[in-house]
Amino acid sequence: MVKHTGRHFLQIPGPTSVPDRVLRAIDMPMIDHRGSEFADLAMQVLSDIKTIFKTDSPVIIFPSSGSGAWEAALVNTLSPGEKVLMFETGHFSSLWEKMAKNFDLDVELIPGDWRTGVDPALVEKNLQNDTNHRIKAVCVVHNETSTGVTTNIKGVRGAIDTAEHPALLMVDTVSSLGAVDYRHDEWKVDVTVSGSQKGLMLPPGLGFTAISKKALEASEKNKMGRAYWSWKEMLKANETGFFPYTPAVGLLYGLKEAIAMLHEEGLNNVFARHARHGEATRRALSAWGLENLAINPDEHSNVVTTVLMPKDHDADSFRKLVLDKFDMSLGAGLGKVAGKVFRIGHIGHHNDLMLAGALAGVEMGLRLSGIRGVSSGVDAALEYLAEQVA
Ligand code: PLP
């Protein structure tokens, strides 16, 4: 067995590498979660996190994964039997749809090809046709982590407005928040769902919902059962810096530090860094002669690139080879595209040389797999990165 030295290359699109600074912030003795020291921490992170969602509305922080936040969004706003409009953009939109059905919501799913995002024109058409306003919510995944496709949320908002439809807009930003520009208030999103383990550079374990006034009003009347996920209980406790149950104290120390890091770099610079890495990765892909699963250039994800393997090669065997030989984890193909694609994550605590190393690992793997005349994607990426150094 190969013994690896140096750092493991974790190039999956989350959980992402956690900065040492954040790890040190988490490494604290436990404190009383009902004491004033905790309340000070909670008040600070509950306020600071709003700057990342770009909202003045409350953001709830659950001790949960992103799926918990999905559930919170549904159970706090909708009633069994109510209609929701969802779009099949990939594996994660499909999981959210399955969850909605488990809560007896009447899901209208607009089928998709797993290669494109949500088309605002389709949102508008479906809402225009819903003259009785039976649709209570439109649910969209901002960045489909399985396909590497980013949906234009501003466009979706525009479509809802043009249709003059009162449906709530719910957006999953699990793999975009803190990495791709996102504006909860400006885009009039009603519930934004997110998680800690990707752009926020934390370990998994925090789930977020940012809530508009309209969503909060819906939560006062809707009929879905809820207990752990109740916004009401949480918001009441949060007023004084507490939680209705034991919070993830250590992760909250980490969150405070991660938010500080994002602001030290500047959110626009963080987004620009991800955009550079997305573009450099795509240039490497073109040089390798491989195809991006995401078809439309204006929907290419800047946080993850999903690569189609040539037909006679299995993507999982390729990932295993790269892991065995170079100690690098690449993202697996999920759902419908399992075995057909691998994913290169370039999200979170990530810099040019980490990307160069990751692309070098992919390139060596492609050569070892005997994939036809691979020319240097690394060179193509480095040339672009060097040009773009500010
Ligand atoms: N939504 C998206 C876009 C995701 O990428 C993920 C996980 O990767 C989830 C939801 C589910 O989050 P979790 O696995 O933290 O429950």
pLDDT in tens, 144-161: 999 999 999 999 999 999
Q: How far is the CA of 176 from the centre of ligand 1 (A)?
A: 11
Q: How far is the CA of 95 from the centre of ligand 1 (A)?
A: 9
In sequence order, what are the residues at sequence separation of 6 or more whose Cβ sits closer than 8 angstroms to the Cβ of residue 11? 328, 329, 330, 331, 344, 345, 346, 358, 361
Please give the pLDDT value at position 143: 98
Q: How confident is the model at residue 390 (pLDDT cuts 50, 70, 90)?
A: low
Instruction: Give the integer Cα–Cα distance in Å for 385 and 109.
Output: 40
Q: Which residues line ligand 1 (CB under 6 A)?
A: 14, 65-67, 92, 141, 145, 172, 174-175, 195, 204
Instruction: Give the integer Cα–Cα distance in Å for 334 and 371.
Output: 22
Instruction: Give the integer Cα–Cα distance in Å for 76 and 89.
Output: 24
pLDDT in tens, 59-106: 999 999 999 999 999 999 999 999 999 999 999 999 999 999 999 999
pLDDT in tens, 310-327: 989 999 999 999 999 999
Please give the pLDDT value at position 323: 97
Residue 255's CB is within 10 A of a number of other CB atoms, namely 28
The length of the chain is 390
Q: Hey, is 110 helix, strand or coil?
A: strand
In the predicted model, is pLDDT for residue 388 greater than 90?
A: no
Q: In the numeric block, which tokens belong to residue 194?
A: 């997110």
- Residue with the smallest CA separation from ligand 1 atom 2 is 174
Mean pLDDT score across all residues of the chain: 97
For the CA atoms of 307, 310, 311, 314, the dihedral, rounded to the nearest 10 degrees, stands at -70
Q: How far is the CA of 79 from the centre of ligand 1 (A)?
A: 24
Instruction: Give mean pLDDT, residues 96-119.
Output: 98
- Residue with the smallest CA separation from ligand 1 atom 13 is 66
| pTM of the shown model | 0.98
Instruction: Give mean pLDDT, residues 218-222.
Output: 98
In the predicted model, is pLDDT for residue 346 greater than 60?
A: yes
**β-sheet bridge partners, residue 137:** 84, 168
Q: How confident is the model at residue 373 (pLDDT cuts 50, 70, 90)?
A: low
Q: In the numeric block, which tokens belong to residue 199?
A: 């752009």
Q: How far does Cα 24 stand from its chain's mean position? A: 24
Contact of 373 with 310, CB cutoff 8 Å: no
Q: In the numeric block, which tokens belong to residue 279?
A: 């573009």
Q: How far is the CA of 379 from the centre of ligand 1 (A)?
A: 33
Instruction: Give mean pLDDT, residues 32-53.
Output: 98
Q: Which atom of ligand 1 is nearest to the CA of 68?
A: 16
Instruction: Give the integer Cα–Cα distance in Å for 336 and 114.
Output: 9
In the predicted model, is pLDDT for residue 3 greater than 80?
A: no
Q: How far is the CA of 172 from the centre of ligand 1 (A)?
A: 9
pLDDT in tens, 221-275: 999 999 999 999 999 999 999 999 999 999 999 999 999 999 999 999 999 999 9
Q: Which atom of ligand 1 is nearest to the CA of 142?
A: 3
Q: How far is the CA of 97 from the centre of ligand 1 (A)?
A: 13
Q: How confident is the model at residue 179 (pLDDT cuts 50, 70, 90)?
A: very high
Name the residue of 12, 62, 91, 92 to mutate for ligand 1: max ligand atoms within 8 A of Cβ. Answer: 92
Instruction: Give the integer Cα–Cα distance in Å for 2 and 321.
Output: 12
Q: How confident is the model at residue 203 (pLDDT cuts 50, 70, 90)?
A: very high
How do 341-345 and 304-308 pair as beta strands? antiparallel
Percent residues over pLDDT 70 in the chain = 98
Instruction: Give the integer Cα–Cα distance in Å for 288 and 325.
Output: 20
- Residue with the smallest CA separation from ligand 1 atom 4 is 174
Please give the pLDDT value at position 132: 97
Q: How far is the CA of 92 from the centre of ligand 1 (A)?
A: 7
Give whole-number Cα distances, 106 to 85, 98, 103, 135, in Å.
9, 11, 9, 9
Instruction: Give mean pLDDT, residues 125-129.
Output: 98
Q: How far is the CA of 67 from the centre of ligand 1 (A)?
A: 6
In sequence order, what are the residues at sequence separation of 6 or more whose Cβ sits closer than 8 angstroms to the Cβ of residue 20? none
Name the residue of 86, 175, 192 to mutate for ligand 1: max ligand atoms within 8 A of Cβ. Answer: 175
In sequence order, what are the residues at sequence separation of 6 or more whose Cβ sits closer than 8 angstroms to the Cβ of residue 29? none
Q: In the numeric block, which tokens belong to residue 332?
A: 């697996």
In the predicted model, is pLDDT for residue 129 greater than 80?
A: yes
